[in-house]
Amino acid sequence: MIAGSVRSLAATGKPRIRFSPERRLALLVALASLLWLIPGGAVVSATALGVIALLAALDCALLPPRRGLTLTRELPEMVGIGDTVEGSYTLESHWPRAMTVDLVDHPSQFVSGGAGATVTTIAPRAARTLAFQITGETRGRAQLGPVGARVRSRLGLISARYLFTADDSIMVIPSLSGVRRFRMLAMQHRLETAGVRSLRRRGEGLSFANLREYAVGDDPRRIDWKATARRAQLITREYTVERAQTVITLIDAGRGMTQLAHTRSRFEHALSAALILTDIAANAGDRVGSLVFDDEIRAYVPARPGRAALQAVRDAFVPLEASSREPDYAGAFRYLAAHQRKRALIVFITDVIDPRASQALIAHVSRSAARHLAVVVALRNDAIFSAALPRAVGGASALYESAAAEELILAREEALTRMRRAGVSVIDVSPQLMTASVINRYLEIKSRGAL
């Protein structure tokens, strides 16, 4: 599972503490000072100030000491960009008096959210849990930083300000939006249409396939006695032998992937879809890996099975950013050919719009299709498709803009058609809809046993 379970990340260490006056104390001092203006009010004012000072000292005594309050922050190990996760703070009082706590926490520039400014009351020697939310903003390891707490007694004249420090962090990774839904979809189809590719062999394997009549030579241990009793004849179980496939995600990190698609770059959408596909394939028993490139190889994770591969792909994605350089398709496919010799499903996510660049792309993808099963995910530029629509206003400039956009679309369609003719499976999709389309194509390939 990609998103780790909730665990305690902040140790309840000794906080730094300092005392400071509250507005209520300042107001009382100001009112007492006004008594000096009354004839003969000096004594009254001094007496009032003395009483206020005693109350302030009493208020300090009512506040908890350094060990009187502990805090624990709990949240998941990781969050996807644009995704929101739930966390909690647990404030525990070791003081025999009630207290009011203002909690302030602004975690990191990599994430947004936190407690903000939350006010709560804690009973004597009791604990209080406060929920909060964190949203991933930038990929990387986000140090969550300290948490501040202002503690007041019922008098409210003096406050004790605590600063809880901890070196806990949360990993911000590509978006995981929809991962559970897609994983459940794969699990529901695993043994029927989307499961691990299987070979049916009599009496072997671990996954149940079906029931049939007992034949001479079958293992007696495979006899299903309940079914035998119902049908009044010997019935044996058939099992499946599962065979893992290899799935490699190939991701273009070049110039075209820097463009925004809604609020995130096309590259962010590509990493998210690739990570979810990797999760689905790994849970289906396939070997998974990934290669990211622009004009050089930016990251490569060799295909292997299990959660270790999934974690390796996730860790490789975290520091990556799309660049303004032109992608070197030839170098990427040479590297892939040298390091992945066995047949695999290659899911290539790229931007296809430049006619000259698409010529090289077509040649290398078509050549790769002779060894591997290639699926090209061609990301649409929705702004260009919108610009190609005729508009009633705008005059000649709008007409030229529409014509230029239509020319780019036609060149792109020609490139995709040539790929299809070369035997390459092509998904032509908007970045926001890419994940569902990629998962559906993967499930379709699994169901047909095309690999």
Q: Are residues 98 and 202 in the same domain?
A: no
Q: Are residues 19 and 131 in the same domain?
A: yes
- Contact between 254 and 294 (Cβ < 8 Å): yes
Domain of 210? 198-242
**pLDDT, block means (10 residues), the chain with 451 residues:** 38 64 88 82 85 89 86 86 85 89 76 72 90 84 83 87 82 74 55 38 49 80 87 80 78 90 86 91 90 94 90 91 89 91 91 69 78 89 76 69 80 82 85 87 78 67
- CATH number, residue 36: 2.60.40.10
Instruction: Please state at what angle helix 395-421 crosses helix 355-368, rounded to 10 degrees.
Output: 20
What's the domain count of the chain? 3
Three-state DSSP state, 205: coil
Beta bridge partners of 191: none
Q: How much is the pLDDT for 391?
A: 67
Q: Are residues 155 and 228 in the same domain?
A: no
Q: Are residues 206 and 280 in the same domain?
A: no
Out of 188, 212, 242, a domain closes at 242
Q: Are residues 205 and 285 in the same domain?
A: no
- CATH number, residue 415: 3.40.50.410
| Assigned domain for 182 exists | no
Q: Are residues 218 and 92 in the same domain?
A: no
162 — phi, psi (to 5°)?
-100, 145
Q: Are residues 211 and 156 in the same domain?
A: no
Three-state DSSP state, 240: strand
Instruction: Please state at what angle helix 42-62 crosses helix 23-34, rounded to 10 degrees.
Output: 170
| Assigned domain for 283 exists | yes
Q: Are residues 166 and 226 in the same domain?
A: no
Q: Are residues 86 and 206 in the same domain?
A: no
Q: How much is the pLDDT for 201?
A: 40
Q: Are residues 279 and 350 in the same domain?
A: yes
Q: Which residues have C-beta within 8 Å of that of residue 183, sequence separation ≥ 6?
A: 279, 280, 283
Strands 16-21 and 99-105 come out as unpaired
Q: Are residues 292 and 210 in the same domain?
A: no
| Assigned domain for 325 exists | yes
| Assigned domain for 43 exists | yes
Q: Are residues 259 and 235 in the same domain?
A: no
- Contact between 346 and 373 (Cβ < 8 Å): yes
Out of 135, 157, 173, a domain closes at 173
| Assigned domain for 319 exists | yes
